[in-house]
Structure 1
Amino acid sequence: MCLVCIAFASWVLKTANPQVGDTWKAVLLANVSALSAIRYLRKYIRAEAVTSEMKPPQNMLANS
């Protein structure tokens, strides 16, 4: 998901025609897409951290 948003933002910026007055729309779309990808990645990392804290260490399971 994250990589798709960043790739889409990159494609939008590459294909935007700077001579047209609508360049700001392409930049806005690229920024929103990139921010969405960053937000998703941060949420995913937080969820992974919480999940790993809840799991007991593997060596404790082997000793039981």
Structure 2
Amino acid sequence: MCLVCIAFASWVLKTANPQVGDAWKAVLLANVSALSAIRYLRKYVRVEAAAGERALRHTSV
């Protein structure tokens, strides 16, 4: 999911024409996609860390 968002953001920025007045829309879309990917990764890392911590607790008891 997040890799798709990052790839999409990269593609939007590469294909945007900076001479066109609507280039800000492409930049905004790319930034929103990148921020969504970052939020997803942070959430995923927290969930994985919590699951790993629970697994350590169960094995040490």
Query: Taking structure 1 as the reference length, what is the TM-score of the superposition?
Result: 0.85
Q: Count how many residue pairs are aligned between Structure 1 and Structure 2.
A: 61
The higher radius of gyration belongs to: 1
Query: Taking structure 2 as the reference length, what is the TM-score of the superposition?
Result: 0.89
Superposition RMSD in Å: 1.9
Q: Which residue of 1 aligns with 2:36?
A: 36
Deviations 1:9-56 (A, max 9, x none): 000001111111000000000000000000000000000000011113
Structure 1: 4+ residue segments shifted above 4 A: none
Residues in 2 aligned to 1:54 and 1:6: alpha-carbon distance in whole angstroms: 31
Unaligned runs of 5+ residues in structure 2 are none
Alignment of structure 1 residues 1-64 onto 2, 5 Å:
1-56=1-56
Letter in 1 for 2:3: L
